[in-house]
Amino acid sequence: MVKVSFVCPVFNKQKYLKNVINSIKNQKGEFDKEFIFINDGSTDLSLEYLKKFTKKLKKVKIIDQSNRGPAAATQQGIECSSGDFLKLVGGDDILHPDCTSILLNTIIKNKSVGVFSRYQLVDDFNKVKFKKNKPSNLKKINSPLLDTVKSSFSGTSPNLYCNKTVKKSGGCNTKIFVEDFSLVLGISTFGNFCFIDSVTSFGPKNDKNRIMEGRKTQLIHDYNAALFYFISKKSNISNEIKKIACKKALGRAEKWGRRLKKKNSFNRMNWLKLRLFFGYNNFNEIIRSSCLYFYENLDEESIRYKVD
């Protein structure tokens, strides 16, 4: 019987934990399970709630560490995991009861290293009605690195990953705050990806404590930082993919400056786009510069874990 490791990093999520843990506990399917929760230095009652609501779970491990961010916390859980497959779960997300079985059947049938499904934001977990679910509109990408760079494939709760592949790739880059994009980039050179349209997980809408809501600058920066570290260490990536990575990084940084910081004038990102167009091919330096652009224009914001 295959084994699934549920890995859930938690930072100040006490109000969600009962629902989150119940949704993990209620996963249907014929597979062995282990449960790993990482309390990433929470200052609320998250650690106490984790202990309280996991008492009846078997094969559960709770790791308590000082705050290092979701990438480091997730990676700690990955390193402790022993399952064939890795089910990452956000500390404020709930899973459809069929979530894991749907993803597991898809990844095994298609011999994939990662399967991606859809995610929905809701106002109230208690009002979510779980309808009968099954995979729909399957799409398979056999060599997903280029598409991963172009489309920034990422995610935790709606996805399932081959644990052996994640560990072989190195998992989450702990030099970055946000966890998921670096993980997906890493495994994208090891096998195919599958995508299904089924909604398999749910998260809270309009919660400013979520990274995608309250720390958009950190999130955008970390997508560029993930590309920088990935491109820097991989010697066998084609110049075509590197050039696309540069365009994506410069576009993100320029858009961030224009939309969030109201910097509408011609800036360094536009200049680097021109240089790239005319043949400048120091791709590592271009992506690094897209990260430095954030630091030069932060104002009152801060970014954790800057690139050197």
User: How many whole angstroms separate alpha carbon 260 and alpha carbon 168?
Assistant: 37
Q: The tokens 């984790």 sit on which residue?
A: 50
CA distances to 96, 218, 267 from 291, in Å: 37, 11, 14
pLDDT tens-digit profile, the chain (308 residues): 999 999 999 999 999 999 999 999 999 999 999 999 999 999 999 999 999 999 989 899 999 999 999 999 999 999 999 999 999 999 999 999 999 999 999 999 999 999 999 999 998 888 888 877 777 789 999 999 999 999 999 999 999 999 999 999 999 999 999 999 999 999 999 999 999 999 999 999 988 888 877 789 999 999 999 999 999 998 899 999 999 999 999 999 999 988 766 666 567 898 999 999 999 999 999 999 999 999 988 877 789 999 98
Provide the residue type at 77 as one letter.
G
Give bridge partners of residue 162 from the DSSP assignment.
85
3-state helix, strand, coil in the chain (%, to 5): 45, 20, 40
User: How many whole angstroms separate alpha carbon 128 and alpha carbon 126?
Assistant: 6
